[in-house]
Amino acid sequence: MRILVTGGQGQLAWALGKILKGALLLPRQELDISDMEALENALEKHRPEIVINTAALTDVDRCEDEPERAFMVNGIAPGWLGELAHRFGFILIQISTDYVFGGEKGEPYTEEDCPSPISVYGNSKLVGENLIKASMDSFYIIRTSGLYGPRRKNFVKLLLERVRKGEKPVVVKDRFSSPTYTLELARQIKVIIEKSPPFGIYHAVNHGSPSWYDFARKVLEYSGLSPDAVQPVSSEDFPQRARRPAFSALKNERLKELGLDVMSDWAGALRSFIEEYKP
């Protein structure tokens, strides 16, 4: 099966390359998804059966400063991929985010919950979802959360770097999410490709909803460092450029109903990452 992965230098793309043997990973230097002509040329050249779009502007604060760029990369470009799917006949797998939700629910969001983003990033990703849904039927929109893995910068690696330098980082104690290991998400995507469930929106995260502070303590514990090296702080005392949802954890309800959920709980996934890659 011919699989093309956009955003080929990202951490999820790297994991997909490990799990989906033979997949073609195209970095931004080779394929800028915000260039319609480049998209058409790449699709004409490679004729993929499946396109997995991992390309995105994911710096939440940068999106506030560069909204036009955010909406182009996260919104309009995925819509173009949806339109081009008709011409080239591929299935589109779009990676989306928990930040399409506002965090008011207070418990994990399912695929049936109505999005209500509170940031430019969340809004731009929701535009991408909606444009895909409006332009095609053969798509999987996979919402995930808090990705970390062996490649690129992420919360786990940056936290460990800072603590090993002798710093004592502050981490918010009142925001809850579903941190997800990229290799597990890649395995879940492989299952979706192989089993071909009904098209639509799916949530795919490691199970559970820790606070970022509790997650940080586990990172240090599993790495043989003192969990007390991180200091809890409330979100009110830790202002950031973009608003973040207080509770954006997701629930893999559709995958579970179909018997296709292969994701671990968040603590088990984190331990596997730490033990295997020793970041």
DSSP per-residue string spanning 199-235:
SEEEE---B---BHHHHHHHHHHHTTS-GGGSEEE-G
- What does the alpha-carbon distance between residue 121 and residue 273 come to, in Å, rounded to a whole number? 27
Instruction: Pick the catalytic residue from 99, 109, 121, 140.
Output: 121
CA distances to 37, 74, 103, 196, 254 from 260, rounded to whole Å, are 37, 27, 26, 10, 9
Q: Distance between CA atoms of 164 and 229, rounded to whole angstroms?
A: 10
Alpha-carbon distance of 201 to 198, in angstroms, equals 9
Taking Cα atoms as reference points, which of 182, 175, 180 lies closest to residue 248?
Answer: 175
Q: Which residues, in sequence order, are bridge partners of residue 193?
A: none
Cα 268 to Cα 149, 229, 278, distances in angstroms: 14, 22, 15
Q: Is 213 a catalytic residue?
A: no
* Residue 174 burial by Cβ neighbours in a 10 Å radius (0-12, 13-18, 19+): middle
Q: 134 Cβ partners below 8 Å, 6+ apart?
A: 79, 82
Separation of alpha carbons 226 and 222, rounded Å: 9
Residue positions annotated with a catalytic role: 121
